Structure 1
Amino acid sequence: MHLRPLPEEHRETYREFLNYAFRPENGPDWSNERLPDPENHRPRGFYDAPPDAAVEDLDAADLRTVCAFYDFTARVRGEWHPLPGISAVASPPEARRQGHVAAMLDGLLAEFRDTGRYLSALWPFEYAFYRRFGWATANNYAKTTVPPDELGAVAAGPAGEFVRLDADDWERVKDVYAAAATEDLAVDRSEGWIRHRLFRGWEDDPFVYGWERDGDLRGYVVYDVTGDWESRTLSVGELVAVDAEARAQLFRFLRDHDSQVDEVVLSSERESTRLIDDLTDPRAATVELKPGPMVRIVDVPAALEAVTFPVDAACDLFLAVEDGRCDWNNGPFSLVVTDGEASVESVGRDADPDATVEIGALSQLLVGARAVEALARTDRLSVADAEAADALASVFTERDRYLREGF
């Protein structure tokens, strides 16, 4: 068995695997035109073939499972880092429960490590499944459902102009997103990603409207409308604004659909947005808190040494890392942090660790998703004493983070 880049001639089999995995109601032979893939899309196939088999000798019949990743660059602790987003993990029914997905993910992590991709992310079909492989939740998000007229409490008075946007406006949209998405785990969006993932939909393309002031685009909203005359829902896929004024204008735009829809659903708001706090009648809205994507450190020394930590962090201790899939991550390691930079070296197995951490918990600490104090109350992080806990807490501070991409 071996993981290989997927040849173009095997794409049809790849699509069949995905179709049946994610739309089983349509059967294994169902086909439909797929969305174009952005330029950073990297499909992979796990073959029942020797590792040294030439590409031309690979047979689609030897495919056991498939996956892909998007070669994202994302902000981690204020700076840009590679963050491949794993997607399209699928296998046909006859190849399931034989360890193929586990072996494929192991191969993919090895590829990431060999190519300098020391972090990774994914959206799980099941959180418990991917926790077994070392991924852990990076952030939560909020789904808010509210009658459109209730948005009057957060809507601005008429000003500026609403304009319809299309894929050729991608640069303007990117500028708004870059100005607004300053939190950690925000992705540096490419032209292809914006064109093919923001302006395209799996069934129907969404509507995209922007709000301008004096010709300057200040925010945009991506949405669709479903239902019939009896009941309609306006579902917002993304609402991005550079400031409070632009956000209030976009809420005015949504509010003004009150004669057409019964409810507005903000499907992926940041957990900290708290729209409900500003409504005249908070009880009119329903807020569901949902777990978001997961992250995983691929290469512990490379990741810790690449990321910038607080300049006042002080740490010099032995950190034992437990990783059941990547043996190169199993510690202990010497972790020294001074002036915001980490130095990590493997030390002897007989070293007495100051802290022991599971790889998923360390991944959360690295991106600022959990506090040392909170994780120390679980079985995923154990700390020898208060001094070691304080040292780790000075390094792994919590961060404002939100990975909003769907992939």
Structure 2
Amino acid sequence: MEFRKLTADAFEECMALSEYAFQFVMKEEQREKRQKQFEKHNVWGVYDDGSLGAKLHLIPFQTYIHGRSFDMGGIAGVATWPEYRRKGWVAGLLKHTLEEMNRNKQSISFLHPFAFAFYRKYGWETYIEYKKYKVPTSHLPAKKQTPGTLRRGNPDLDVLKSVYNAYAERYNGMLIRDDAWWKDSVLTEGTSQKAVYYDEAGQAQGYILYEVKERKFTIDEIIHLNEEARQALWTFIANHDSMIEEVTLQAPASDTLAFQLDNPRIQQEIIPYFMARIVSVEQFISQYPFASQDSPVQIALQVRDAHAPWNEGMWQLNVAMNGTASIWKASEPVSEEQTVQMDIQSLTAVLMGYRRPAEMEEIGRINGPAEAISALENAIPVRETYLLDFF
């Protein structure tokens, strides 16, 4: 396989493959915007006799994990012409991209899979699911008076950013959005209406991006930092009751909207969404904020990773009392009876907070001495995963 990093000259060739693989036709007015995005991506292709056969976009992002910023490589636009499929080219691209992310110190990677089983083979694992609601107008929350003010219109970007950032830090796996991402991917021209809730002190505490069309109230994003803001935003939604028949939205999997309704019998669907993969065990864990401990924790960790050999093997993990971690390859053999053993997918799921070590042991995804697994359970902070964005 011949790997090439694609330049601006390859844009049309790359887009032709995307249009064919993902079955869309790009409108002319979108082309300039898409080309600018292409030039910001790290796009790799596989060539055969000078023709592009497969390609992959590696997008530089940052994500929140336990309130800390991690450099993340977003995988997107993976596509192959049908005549080149089942030749191992995508597998080669994924391995090549792992090496690239490792060099770039992007210690974690996210992607939206066309098939979860396919990407699990290469080390990615589910890290988030979200709840999708469809609420009939007759079931909407009761309208309540709140002391603040809701303003509809076009707020300053800094206002939305301040609310989003405070909210995003509460979850593992949310994007740290820069201004370009806000403008190109969130507040795209001609889409959402906007409304912001301000408390009595004039501080923004929540916002909603939405569309009202054909008697449906479609929420793109609803973010509230406290119960007062939640009530104010839902009262605003309910004030559309003469115009709409239903409201649709997504929320974190733990969201309690239905419980708070007088009639909780609404349509709810849990949807597995994105996958994550630890690119570098050493880089990721060295930055990872573990929970504070009463005494230092030492765990021997056996990691299996067939596609990133730098992760494969026995690691010594030490967690200080303040939660700071250090990790290094073990210099001496350690017996299996003394180690916690898992593959890179399982390690990703537990460190992202999507699954707990104890439940992963119960289903056979983690093996090891009970004392060590219990220590790992106590060392990993509890925090829900969520993601509002798509790429």
Question: TM-score, normalising length from structure 2?
Answer: 0.89
SS in 2 for 1:288: strand
1:101 aligns with 2:86: no
Q: Please name the residue that 1:209 is paired with.
A: 195
Q: Please name the residue that 1:252 is paired with.
A: 235
SS in 2 for 1:392: helix
CA 1:224–1:70 in 2, change beyond 3 Å: closer, same or farther? farther
Q: Please name the residue that 1:305 is paired with.
A: 286
CA 1:216–1:345 in 2, change beyond 3 Å: closer, same or farther? closer
* Equivalent in 185, 200, 211 of residue 224 of structure 1: 211
Any residues of structure 2 matched to 1:74-223 within 5 Å, and which? 74-153=63-142, 156=145, 160-165=149-154, 169-183=156-170, 184-200=172-188, 205-213=191-199, 216-223=203-210
Q: Which moved more, 1:206-215 or 1:387-396?
A: 206-215
Q: Which moved more, 1:371-380 or 1:106-115?
A: 371-380
Matched residue type, 1:211: Y
> In the comparison of the two structures, how many residue pairs are matched?
382
Deviation, 1:141, is 0.7
Q: Please name the residue that 1:369 is paired with.
A: 354
Does the Cα contact within 8 Å between 1:187 and 1:403 map onto a contact in 2?
yes
Matched residue type, 2:54: T
Q: Please name the residue that 1:334 is paired with.
A: 316
Deviation, 1:378, is 2.4
CA distance in 1, matches of 2:143, 2:312: 50
* Equivalent in 376, 382, 389 of residue 398 of structure 1: 382
CA distance in 2, matches of 1:254, 1:47: 49
Does the Cα contact within 8 Å between 2:148 and 2:197 map onto a contact in 1?
no
Does the Cα contact within 8 Å between 1:171 and 1:191 map onto a contact in 2?
no
Q: Which moved more, 1:89-98 or 1:370-379?
A: 89-98
SS in 2 for 1:219: strand
CA 1:165–1:345 in 2, change beyond 3 Å: closer, same or farther? same
Matched residue type, 1:369: Y
CA 1:16–1:43 in 2, change beyond 3 Å: closer, same or farther? farther
Deviation, 1:116, is 0.8
Does the Cα contact within 8 Å between 1:149 and 1:255 map onto a contact in 2?
no
Give unmatched runs, 5+ long, in structure 1: 50-58
CA 1:324–1:118 in 2, change beyond 3 Å: closer, same or farther? same
Q: Please name the residue that 1:62 is paired with.
A: 51
CA 1:304–1:213 in 2, change beyond 3 Å: closer, same or farther? closer
Q: Please name the residue that 1:240 is paired with.
A: 223
CA distance in 2, matches of 1:308, 1:69: 26
The C-alpha deviation readout for 1:112-138, integer Å capped at 9, x for no partner, is 001111111111121111111111111
Deviation, 1:41, is 4.3
Cα RMSD of the aligned pairs, angstroms, is 2.5
Does the Cα contact within 8 Å between 1:163 and 1:212 map onto a contact in 2?
no
Deviation, 1:379, is 3.1
CA 1:3–1:218 in 2, change beyond 3 Å: closer, same or farther? farther
Give unmatched runs, 5+ long, in structure 2: none
Identity of aligned residues (%): 29
